Structure 1
Amino acid sequence: MKRLVVLGGGESGVGTAILGIKEGFQVFVSDKGPVKEEYKEVLKHYKIEWEELQHTEDKILNADVVMKSPGIPDSVPLVVTLKETGVPVISEIEFASRYTKAIIIGITGSNGKTTTTMLTGHIFKEAGLGVGIAGNIGDSYAKMVAERDHDYYVLEISSFQLDGIVDFKPHIAVLTNITPDHLDRYDYEFDKYIASKFRIAMNQTKDDYLIYDADDEVIVDWLKKNPVRSKLLPFSLERKLEEGAFIEDDKIIIKIENNTTEMSRDALALEGKHNVKNTMAATTAAKLISIRKETIRRSIESFQGAEHRLEKVLKIHHVQYVNDSKATNVNATYYALDSMKTPTVWIVGGVDKGNDYRELMPLVREKVKAIICLGKDNSKIIDAFGNVVDLMVETFAMDQAVKVAYKIAERGDTVLLSPACASFDLFENYMDRGNQFKAAIKKL
């Protein structure tokens, strides 16, 4: 009996363990931190051996295959030892894909991947297709494959998950954009991070598709130097394309082979240029699966967007509060500031991943009236913008930040939480940060 060891007892780890049992593996789950009560119950139910608060090497190094949760870096000594002894260390995406015959739509990118994944899944559901939406969001992909396999999967995939693939191949791959992010995990070398994102296409053949942003110079340059085998379908806001998605006379045009689809830009429920791009990517994927134009249009008009992504929370005394906690890097915050139409009180800060704030400078000058720093160390933000805005306040808790924003904001302003940083200094994750922001607003 083959031995599967799962490192990390969270959503993807426990899901992989369930699939492992179903496929006849002897399974052991090991987590260096505590395992949540809900996951312990599941492990007990399936009689899966597990441990928490430690990694017992004797029970791990004898594995035939190891599934590592994406939060564990490759540089951890245990992972290095496993690889040196020749044990394959793979991601949940790789493991689960070996046990499904579904058509896979894989979506990656520094920003926009959650919205694009949710919108693509929404269109597929509206078309009546059996679809699972998983990967970096929602329920575990492996658990879905084990418990109720689907005909299609729309997967949001992070670079860390792509680092752990061997044979994984989406029929349709989407690359929303590439901007510097997570560089702390890639030796601060941007090229390593770009290469990681492009792994989504590494096993694709001429019968598969790569949908990508043709306005993104990083992607375009990389493709010139490192051609892929799949059929390229670009999208662009800046120019007309022979094939792919583009804008003409305020309409979104999608051309695939000799088939052209047109849609009014006004049909989009989501605001902002970046959401036009996310919509183009999702719609192109839907057209490749031959979903009808009417279904696509109806889906786009009814789509609500992702939580914690430019989410309008409340209006208090004619001030709009917007939760963009999911903006964990500079590029995501760029899109948020770009979509602001009123003077903005901007709440920013957290764990800096090697951020360069210079690209935000023109938008901050134009739109931001005050900055509220929210982090344990705000020095880099203060250095970057101290001379640019009239008012800058340091805070160290969400309640405090929201109270300060409430005092500063005037009729017609927007208070925007768009941190441009990771959340782990003061919060569990970006969702906790966004939820605390919403709770603090409701207390005002």
Structure 2
Amino acid sequence: MGFVMVVRRSLLSLVLLSLLSLLFTLQPAVAAGPDFTASGPANYYGCMCSQISYVFTVKNTGYVDSPLFLSQSGQLAEFSTLQDNQLYLRSGEEKTVVGTINQPCLLSGIYTLTTTITGQQAKKQLTQTVHIAPCMNMEVTPIIDAAHGCRCEPLLLVYDVRNTGNYADTYSFSLRDFSEYVIINPQSRIVPPGQTERVYIYLKFPCSFSGEKETLFVVATDRSSLELEKPLKAALNESCYEYEYNATAYPRLGPVVGEDGRLRYLSYSFYGLLIAVSIILIANITIPGGRVKEEPKDQGARLRPKRLKAYLRPSSIVKPSSQFEEADDYGVSKGRRDIVIITALAFIIITLILYTAGVLRAGLFSSGPEPEDNLTVQVLNESVRGEAGMLYLQLYSPYIAGGLVFLVIVIMLLRKAEREKE
């Protein structure tokens, strides 16, 4: 009986020793295993020149509290900043770590970022992929994208350009075609995020251009190297000076409408000037010279009555001989010569006035801000001004002819009144 008890005690001691030995054997293995986990999204997407945020979660799965240290490597490590570089997690605790990538504008493509978490007895790495692409950071709104006007006249088009990104960028403005005929104000501008810049485009085609012209308004960014194009249309009316009558568009122009409903201003100009010249010539040929019979030969000159105002002077009663003046060497009276001189001067003055008006009209912008002086000089070169002035003369030459005809008629009536008084 006693022997059995001894055996039982020995077996129990052996089992206990085995269990203790097994426990001490397994404890280092458990402690040597990882005591935390790290997880997060594998891919992130962002735009060039912009800030990219990313997150990952770290959890302490061990039996004891543990400090953790974080470090980063990879292509984006130098541009990345972590909210926390070290953590202290209790057993079972987890924490979300936020990181920010402030990547430069030159980066574009697929990059990796590796975060290493180091504990007391373990180390773990988390690799995340960042996709960086050029993103549109502008919005172009046409205010006036189709302009209609006459040849030789400047056309105005207007666009609004808005920075839709989250960083300031330099925007440059240009046209795909017709760069030699365009002035853009401004040509480039730094636009802060969320703000809008208004762009004025002044098109000044040569007077030989007509019909519709189409091109593209191009907005380019400096930092992100992007381009955005918007269509632009300019219509140059071929018949502004052979114009289909429209009282709303041109209320000052008389409705001189031909059979085809067009104003043939060039033809009317030619015939109007021809009529004016014919009347002047007929007037000088048909109006009598007003000669009277000669006085005694010692005065030696051919005489004619003076004009009407000579009779209105008191001195004319005292000195009747003063009522006579000499004709020129060719027998043409000074009265007829006055008609020619006055008509010619009137023609020259009116022509210069209208020519100048055409030049000024071609040089003035109808709306929008006034361009800078150097821009005006570029647009209004002398050749274009001259063409505009000549076309303005063609437009208003019927009125010139009519005015000259009226002037000749008035002079003829005055001469007739003088002769009747004499």
TM-score class, shorter-chain normalisation, is under 0.3
Q: Quick check: which one's strand share is greater?
A: 2
| Higher-Rg member (1/2) | 2
TM-score of the pair, normalised by structure 1: 0.18
